Amino acid sequence: MKEVRTKNLEVRSAIAIVVLLCGAGAATRPAAQEPLWDTGTFSILGYDSQTGEVGGAVQSRVFSVGNGVLWRFRYNASGGTYKWELVGGATLAAEVATSEACSSAAYVDLATAGPSVTVPRAGDYRIEVFAGAHGNGASANKAYAAVKLGAAATSDAESALISGSGFEQAGAFAITRTLAASDVLKLQYKVTAGSGAFFGRRLRVLPVRVS
């Protein structure tokens, strides 16, 4: 009986060694890499079986719109067409500081066009415009800096009015508009009489909610 037990122990030991070796091989095998989620958003839920409590957390989508600008969103299922609402992030901005002349009574680009920005997704955006101008002294001279929204015609409804005889003033405005994905926003300019020059032209855009 003693000899049989010894053999059984040897067999068990051999099996244990094989199992350990197989386990070690599995541990060193590299895990398959999972692809990153396109949405960049996930939820975590926890359940306490003793208290019956449930907890959860949501990681909101973050995407880059270029030039180091990041926007962070949260999902609102009842948000209508655009369900991703802005949580935080910097404005997408562009500027042309150079003073350049304009004598057109219709909206046109100046020698240096813009400034301009392109929105990455369809949605509602807050748009802020600032421009300075000085005129030639004509009593009826008024200067306008307006933002052209995508393919739509440039309108006084999206403009900053800078007026006065021989003016050297600045104008600014902020509006919210619904835009399509990849719409280009660009400032254009006009004067109502004589000529003027525009300087310190700035355009800033921030989403309110997007698709």
pLDDT in tens, 183-196: 999 999 998 888 88
Is the model's pTM score more than 0.75? no
When pLDDT is cut at 50, 70 and 90, the band that residue 125 belongs to is: very high
**Is the sign of the CA dihedral 104, 110, 111, 113 positive or negative?**
negative
Residue 29, pLDDT > 80, answer no
When pLDDT is cut at 50, 70 and 90, the band that residue 70 belongs to is: confident
How many Cα neighbours within 13 Å face the side chain of 82? Answer: 18
pLDDT top residue among 81 and 69: 81
Mean model confidence pLDDT for the chain? 78
In this prediction, residues 53-60 reach a mean pLDDT of 61
The pLDDT score that the predictor gives to residue 7 is: 46
CATH match for 76-210 among 2.60.120.40, 3.40.190.10, 3.40.50.720, 1.10.1510.10: 2.60.120.40
On the 0-12 / 13-18 / 19+ scale of CB atoms within 10 A, 119 is buried
Note whether 115 and 94 are within 8 A (CB).
yes
Residue 118, pLDDT > 50, answer yes
The pLDDT score that the predictor gives to residue 174 is: 92
Dist. CA 178–CA 173, nearest whole Å: 17
Note whether 95 and 201 are within 8 A (CB).
yes
Q: Indicate the residue type of 107.
A: Y
Dist. CA 200–CA 44, nearest whole Å: 48
Q: Among candidates 203, 176, 173, 174, which has minimal Cα distance to 188?
A: 203
